[in-house]
Amino acid sequence: MPFAREVTSCNLALHLYNVSINSMTRETIVFLNWARINYAGLASIAASILCLAYNAWRVWQEWRGIGELCYSCSMPASYHSNGKYGPYFKCWNCGTNREEDNFCNGE
């Protein structure tokens, strides 16, 4: 019998893959490869635009006086609540750390 070998899921998947590739034309395969590369490029461009927008929003917030600025270089600083000596701010640009200001406790 020509079909006496054991049919496994791997063999079946390879057979279906070969049938689908053989039924495609060269233009279809080229288009699919181009579309995959194109979507990867679009995804990376979208990720970089999101990062740029977030950083621009943070700088705009600092310019309006809402966020925290570094005392040495005047760039945005991020808040970290679990430091060794308590909460602190860390500069995005120069990496300088400073303690949290406690001016809002009514004193």
Type and span of the H or E element at 33 = helix 26-64
The domain segmentation of the chain, as residue ranges, is 34-99
Instruction: Determine contact, residues 22/14, Cβ cutoff 8 Å.
Output: no
pLDDT band at 49 (very low <50, low <70, confident <90, very high): very high
Helix (H, G, I), strand (E, B) or coil at 90: strand
CA pseudo-torsion sign 33, 37, 38, 42: positive
- Compute how many other C-beta atoms are within 10 angstroms of the C-beta atom of residue 91: 20
**What is the rounded average pLDDT for all residues in the chain?**
69
For residues 93-101, average pLDDT: 76
Q: Is the pLDDT of residue 7 over 70?
A: no
Give the up-direction half-sphere exposure of residue 57: CA atoms within 13 A in the CB hemisphere: 6
For residues 98-103, average pLDDT: 63
Kindly report, residue by residue over 11-43, the tens digit of the pLDDT: 555 555 555 555 555 555 555 555 566 677 788
Give the up-direction half-sphere exposure of residue 72: CA atoms within 13 A in the CB hemisphere: 10
* Highest-pLDDT range among 2-6, 37-41, 55-59, 81-85: 55-59
- % the chain with pLDDT above 90: 7
Instruction: Determine contact, residues 94/72, Cβ cutoff 8 Å.
Output: yes
| The pLDDT of residue 53 | 93
